[in-house]
Amino acid sequence: MGYLPQSTHLGKLELIEVYEFYDQPILFSCRNASDAIFMGVFAAEDDNFETWLYVGVSPHRFNQIRSGTIDLHDAFSEVEDGIIFQIKVSHDEQMPVLMPISAPQIPDDMLPLPGEFINLETPTLPELDEDLKWKSLQKQFKDLSEPEHDVEGTLIGVFTDNKTFGIEAQDGTIYKGEILEEAFNTASSATISERYIATIREVTSIQPVTEEVKTDYYLVKLDPI
């Protein structure tokens, strides 16, 4: 398995989730025997090697990436400890070669495109007596949702192809998510780095089984200041 090399300093790796697949997993998460979590992505290939990039992520950042709060480009370019692990896997089954590299040294064309997010659907559990705990948790977290609120901040991204946005609030909080139809015309003509008042809808849900909280952000309205 070129995408999951076992003889490197990352340790013995096992898959957690696969997010993109093309003949083999090309974007995925994994962990080692010490429960350190990594995001992995296929970066390049030539006649001799496949090149993969791995970044270590804390559990909190992992949750942000898989819930769509952080896009995939930032997940690999703005790493927590500043280091990306580049792994070259040869086609002739030689030992893989791992090289720690400072994140800014990785060419941008080896990274996922800006504005690409992981959007996982929440599976539905069957209606069984054992689901009472889940129903209770679902009610609890439903109360955490704040339908709509205004955020004053700097527009940091608008991607019209997949209708996503990013805005940094005054307190440093970054909101990224989907642009709703009623805000699309205004957002598509907005100016990056300018300040706006964004009306944002938050939808909080919880993953059954893992009981992991997920918050999705939707841009309802965008007004210049």
- Give yes or no for residue 208 having a pLDDT over 70: no
Lowest mean pLDDT among 68-77, 89-98, 154-163: 89-98
In the sheet that holds 37-45, the strands lie side by side as 14-21, 25-31, 37-45, 49-57, 83-90, 97-102
Give per-residue pLDDT as tens, 125-137: 334 344 444 444 4
Mean pLDDT of 91-119: 89
Give per-residue pLDDT as tens, 29-75: 999 988 899 999 999 999 889 999 999 999 889 988 988 889 999 99
- What homologous superfamily does CATH list for 143-224? NigD-like N-terminal OB domain (2.40.50.500)
Q: Which two tokens stand for residue 195?
A: 């300040």
**Structural domain boundaries in the chain:** 14-110, 143-224
The pLDDT confidence band at residue 122, using thresholds 50, 70 and 90, is very low
The pLDDT confidence band at residue 2, using thresholds 50, 70 and 90, is low
Q: Tokens 């792994």 correspond to what residue? A: 87
Mean pLDDT of 88-114: 90
